[in-house]
Structure formats: structure tokens, C-alpha cells
Amino acid sequence: MSLPACRMAHVIEDRFVDSQTGTSSRDKILDVATKIAQAHGYGGLNLRTLAEEVGIKAASLYHHFPSKADLAAAVAKRYWQDAAAGLEALSLKTPDPADRLRRFPGTFRKSLENDNRICLCSFMTAEFDDLPDEVKKEVETFTDVNVAWLGKTLVAAGVVGTRDAKKRAHAIFAAVAGAQLMARGRSDIKLFDALIKNYQAAGLLPS
């Protein structure tokens, strides 16, 4: 039995994207949606506009993500998974835990380097009360991933003991995310760098 016409259109569309770019329609949707969310947050995600920017029909987008909440949750989940992978890679290539802590702000600086964007989850956190529950869960996980990595690294570096690691990790995460937000508001990446140096001078981060 042949596939229904609408389903066949989705399959053809997916294969077309794969053959032309090596990226599936789903991944391409997530790529574009991430950029939009980093610039405009959850409220700025418009599915029809997104479909046009990706170059697919709106029906195909709904085939992958039945609702805006499903899309935003997938975007946030992939974002924290990528962040976790990046932190793991940083740990593997940087043997000295104190040096890892020095390099941690660079994971947030990358967003500013990309058209003055900020961390997607920081943007969504500002809209937290309006987020669907499934999106909130993924946004919270991003914070949890970063705080857990910071806590483990702080202990390994001998900066604090296990009992105080989570408290210090939260302070660092909030400070670095705040520096990113301030720098974006001024469109000035040098402000981010200056704030990180101030945190180091104050002893929050290793200098």
C-alpha cells in the first residue's frame, strides 16, 4: 500500500534536505529555531515564519513538531545536551581543573561572538512563568548541567570542599550568565571580558 500523499511529501522533503545539505529537516528546523530563540526567546518563535525561513511547508514542520511547546522543548533539550558535551570536551582537553574554571566563561562568550546573541536558556528563563511545563524542564536542566560541572570542577581544583561546591557553582553560573546579559544589552563583548576579570579579581573565579 502506498503512503498517503501528505506523508509522502514529508518523506520526499526530508530526503531532499539530506541530499543537498547532509542535514535532516528536523535538525535544520532546530538549527533555525535555536537562532530565533536566542534572539527573541520563546515568545518570538513563530512556526509559520520558521517554516518559511527553513524552506519547508508549515505542514512538514508540524509533522516533526506538533506544537510550539514540542519544538521549544526539543530546542532547549538539544541546547543543554550540546552544552554538556562541550563541557565534557573541555574537561578532556584541559587537565588542570583550575584552568577549566578559567575557560568556563568562554562557553558563554561564544553566543556573544555569534551576532551578539545570548544563551538560549537565559533568554527563556526571562519568560519562565509563560513557558509550558515541558519547556521549563529542559531550561532548568541547562542550569543543572552547568552547576553540576562547575561544582565537580571546583572540588577537583581545591577551591572549595564538597559541602560548599554547589553554592559556589551557582554563584559562578549566575555571575557569568549575568555578564553575558549585560554585554548583550550594550552590544559590547569587551564588557563581558571586563566583568569576568572583575570576578577573577574578587576571587569568584581563578585568575
Here the CATH number for the domain that contains residue 79 is: 1.10.357.10
Same domain, 61 and 92: no
Domain end residue (candidates: 44, 66, 88): 66
Same domain, 191 and 157: yes
Question: Which residues touch 168 (CB under 8 Å, ≥6 apart)?
Answer: 150, 151, 154, 159, 160
For 90, counting Cβ atoms within 10 Å of its Cβ (0-12 exposed, 13-18 middle, 19+ buried), the class is middle
Whether residue 157 contacts residue 101, with contact meaning beta carbons closer than 8 Å, is answered with: yes
pLDDT at 150 over 60: yes
For residue range 158-198, what is the model confidence (pLDDT) as tens digits? 999 999 999 999 999 999 999 999 999 999 999 999 999 99
Domains identified in the chain, total number: 2
Domain end residue (candidates: 25, 49, 66): 66
Same domain, 54 and 78: no
Return phi, psi of residue 189, to 5°.
-65, -25
Domain end residue (candidates: 48, 66, 84): 66
Same domain, 82 and 140: yes
Same domain, 47 and 126: no
pLDDT at 74 over 80: yes
Same domain, 26 and 99: no
Same domain, 62 and 79: no
For residue range 6-44, what is the model confidence (pLDDT) as tens digits? 333 333 334 334 444 446 889 999 999 999 988 888 999
For 190, counting Cβ atoms within 10 Å of its Cβ (0-12 exposed, 13-18 middle, 19+ buried), the class is exposed
Query: 100 is in which domain, residue-wise?
Result: 70-207
CATH code for position 23: 1.10.10.60
